[in-house]
């Protein structure tokens, strides 16, 4: 049994222009202790997917359909009280902006302690002790002092560590990290990724990483799922995806990553690649492949026939009519 299993997730929003299909038929799963990355450009549905798992989207205007199961239990049937127990306990989330996610009028220690008391029933002294323990765990110096400080007194990297400490305080089975390295410099970004990797090894926590940074994906995840316009267009283990990207959108993302040696003597040896066109309007109905208007390989069949997600190699899926397909290997 998978730790988290999502089947045919659809998240739609009522807007003045019509129904916005933010997520349209998404399916994925994650095992205990596994690191799965969801990657794609802004607006592809990554964060909406993570918020849907925790049922944090306002409904209305949002409408969620599909099957979301955690440890085999259907989350859609749980009451709000049951979901509050689950959030921060069994499933925790690191939000994008630590400064806006942390309450500015409460100390770091109080915010961590509150989660501990709520989910474990610990008293005030025990909850404070646990807060200091997790601050030590995430590498914050002088935790006995920092536990009584307010968020504005911490640097961006330390606030992010405090957010991770809060998420880990109740030993969750699943940690959802939504752009955990956004707005951090390269050195702090590397420290945060090292911290998450080390914590995953020590606690066997599954991590669902939401990001647009392929470098972060390559360094951290085991499997990766590529989203475009609310749909999954490719999924594979990280090594296979980077060695043999099969969907034109994934190939475009990788071509757009700056590479060492591109700038020589102040001149570009090769212009940075870009994906032409624009992301489609998600309030409009799609016919055929959703990426066809921007795809350099698109043909007539792409404009009227949805390719669907197909296994092109062992464990490697892509939604493209022309993605290369390997003969299945003998698994016996």
Q: What is the pLDDT of residues 59-80, one digit of tens each?
A: 788 899 999 999 999 998 999 9
- The beta strands (E) that lie in the chain are given as 4-15, 18-30, 35-39, 62-70, 73-74, 91-94, 174-178, 206-211, 223-228, 231-237, 263-264, 267-268, 310-313, 316-318
pLDDT at 98: 67
User: Which residue's entry shows tokens 């359909």?
Assistant: 65
Give the class (CATH, top level) of 4-30+58-204: alpha beta
pLDDT at 260: 66
pLDDT at 266: 57
**Distant-in-sequence, close-in-space partners of 11: CB < 8 Å, separation ≥ 6:** 21, 22, 23, 45, 48, 49, 52, 57, 62, 63, 64, 65, 230
Backbone angles phi, psi at 268, to 5 degrees: -80, 120
Question: Is the predicted pLDDT of residue 222 greater than 80, yes or no?
Answer: yes
Given the DSSP bridges, would you call strands 263-264 and 223-228 parallel, antiparallel or unpaired? unpaired
Burial tier of 10 (Cβ tally within 10 Å: 0-12, 13-18, 19+): middle
pLDDT at 262: 57
Q: How far apart are CA 202 and CA 183, in angstroms?
A: 27
Q: How far apart are CA 279 and CA 6, in angstroms?
A: 25
pLDDT at 144: 93
Backbone angles phi, psi at 273, to 5 degrees: -75, 155
pLDDT at 331: 46
Contact 236, 315 (CB under 8 A): yes
Residue pLDDT, tens place only, 36-45: 999 998 889 9
Other beta carbons within 10 Å of 309: 18
Of 82-96, 148-162, 269-283, 298-312, the one with minimum mean pLDDT is 269-283
Query: Taking Cα atoms as reference points, which of 108, 68, 66 lies closest to residue 86?
Result: 68
Locate the domains of the chain by residue range.
4-30+58-204, 231-318
The token pair that represents 161 in the structure block: 């560590």
State mean pLDDT over 105-110.
94
- The beta strands (E) that lie in 108-195 are given as 174-178
Q: How far apart are CA 247 and CA 324, in angstroms?
A: 9
Question: Is the predicted pLDDT of residue 285 greater than 50, yes or no?
Answer: yes
pLDDT at 192: 82
Torsion angle defined by CA atoms of residues 54, 57, 58 and 62, in that order, rounded to the nearest 10 degrees = -130
User: Which residue's entry shows tokens 């399916």?
Assistant: 27
Residue pLDDT, tens place only, 108-147: 999 999 989 988 889 999 999 999 999 998 888 999 999 9
Given the DSSP bridges, would you call strands 73-74 and 62-70 parallel, antiparallel or unpaired? antiparallel
Residue pLDDT, tens place only, 237-259: 999 999 999 999 999 999 888 77
pLDDT-derived band at 200, boundaries 50, 70, 90: confident
pLDDT at 5: 97
pTM flag (> 0.85): yes
Query: Taking Cα atoms as reference points, which of 118, 121, 168 lies closest to residue 140?
Result: 168
The token pair that represents 231 in the structure block: 């749909």
DSSP state of 159: H
Q: Cα separations (Å) of 85 from 33, 45, 285? A: 21, 26, 38
The token pair that represents 282 in the structure block: 């998600």
pLDDT-derived band at 332, boundaries 50, 70, 90: very low
């Amino acid at each position: 049994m998978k730790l988290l299993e999502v089947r045919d997730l659809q998240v739609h929003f009522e807007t003045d222009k019509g129904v916005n299909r933010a997520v349209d038929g998404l399916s994925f799963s994650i095992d205990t202790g596994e690191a799965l990355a969801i990657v794609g450009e802004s607006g592809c549905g990554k964060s909406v997917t993570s918020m849907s798992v925790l049922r944090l989207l306002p409904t209305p205007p949002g409408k969620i359909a599909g099957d979301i199961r955690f440890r085999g239990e259907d989350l859609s049937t749980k009451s709000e009280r049951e979901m509050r127990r689950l959030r921060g306990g069994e499933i925790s989330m690191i939000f994008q902006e630590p400064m806006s996610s942390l309450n500015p009028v409460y100390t770091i220690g109080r915010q961590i302690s509150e989660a501990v008391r709520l989910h474990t029933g610990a008293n005030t002294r025990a909850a404070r002790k646990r807060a200091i323990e997790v601050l030590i765990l995430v590498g914050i110096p002088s935790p006995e002092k920092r536990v009584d400080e307010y968020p504005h007194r911490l640097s961006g990297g330390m606030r992010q560590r405090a957010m991770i400490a809060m998420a880990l305080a109740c030993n969750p089975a699943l940690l959802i990290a939504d752009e955990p390295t956004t707005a951090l410099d390269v050195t702090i970004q590397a420290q945060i990724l090292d911290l998450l990797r080390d914590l995953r090894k020590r606690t066997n926590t599954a991590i669902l990483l939401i990001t647009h940074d392929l470098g972060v994906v390559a360094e951290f995840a085991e499997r990766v799922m590529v989203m475009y316009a609310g749909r999954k267009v490719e999924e594979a283990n990280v090594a296979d995806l980077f060695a043999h990207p099969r969907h034109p959108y994934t190939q475009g993302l990788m071509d757009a990553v700056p590479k060492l040696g591109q700038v020589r003597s102040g001149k570009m040896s090769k212009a940075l690649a870009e994906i032409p066109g624009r992301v489609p309007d998600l309030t409009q109905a799609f016919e055929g492949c959703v990426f066809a208007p921007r795809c350099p390989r698109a043909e007539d069949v792409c404009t009227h026939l949805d390719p669907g997600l197909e296994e092109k190699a062992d464990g490697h899926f892509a939604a493209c009519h022309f993605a290369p397909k390997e003969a299945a290997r003998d698994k016996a």
